[in-house]
Structure 1
C-alpha cells in the first residue's frame, strides 16, 4: 500500500528533526577520532625522545627523534619539546614532554592543547 500525501509529509518532518542530531553525532565522532590520533602520536613521540635521551645522553638528538616521530602532526618546533634533566646520569629518570595544539573543525572547539609524556630510567 502506498503512503498517502499526509504520511509523506510526516516522514519529511521527522527526517528534518532527526538530521541535526545525527549530523552532530557524526561530526563529534570525527573530531574525537582526530583528537585521539593526535594524542597517541604525541605520546609515541615523547617515548621516542625519552628513549634516545637515555641511550645517547643528548637532548638535541632526543628532540630530533621526537620531531621525526611527531611528523604526522606537521612540523613541530623545538620549543614544543622539553627534556628534564638535560643530562642523563645512572639511576635518574628522564621526563620528555611534547606539546601540541590541535586545530579543531570549529564545530566543537577552535583549538585543543595536548601533551605527551615519556619517562625512562637512565642507565637501566
Structure 2
C-alpha cells in the first residue's frame, strides 16, 4: 500500500512539471493558427483587390473589394493599409496590391504581435 501512495505523488509531481510545457505548446498552436489564417485572408483580399483593379481600373472599387474580402478580420482593414501600384492600370501592364496588417498577440507570450503582409499582382486589361 505504501508503494501506491508514493507512485500517486510521483504522478502528481510529473504532471505539475509537464503541464506548463503542454500549455505553452497549446498556446503556440493557437497563436500560429490565428496568424496563418490572417495571412491567408490578407493574401486572398489582396488578390480580390488586384482582380478588381485589373478589370475595372478603379482604385476605390479595388480597395472596397479588398476590404470586403477581409471582412473576417477584427479590426478590419482600412484604406491606408491597402497600397495599389500603379494607381491606373494600362492594358497589358501589371497591377500590384499590398495589404499590411498589424496582428496583436492573443496571449503576449510570443511578443506583442506581428505585421503581416498580403500581396497579389495581376495583368491589366479586363
TM-score > 0.5 by shorter chain: yes
Q: What TM-score, normalized to structure 2?
A: 0.93
Gap runs ≥5 in structure 2: none
Determine whether 1:55 maps to 2:42. Answer: no
CA RMSD of aligned residues (A): 1.5
Q: What TM-score, normalized to structure 1?
A: 0.95
Distance 1:33 1:115 in 2: 16
Determine whether 1:101 maps to 2:97. Answer: no
The residue matched to 2:72 in structure 1 has which SS? helix
Cα offset, 1:4, TM superposition: 1.6
Distance 2:49 2:8 in 1: 61
Gap runs ≥5 in structure 1: none
Which runs of at least 4 in structure 1 moved beyond 2 Å after TM superposition? none
Determine whether 1:112 maps to 2:114. Answer: yes
Matches of residues 1-124 of structure 1 in structure 2 within 5 Å? Answer: 4-74=4-74, 75-105=76-106, 106-123=108-125
Q: How many residue pairs were aligned? A: 124
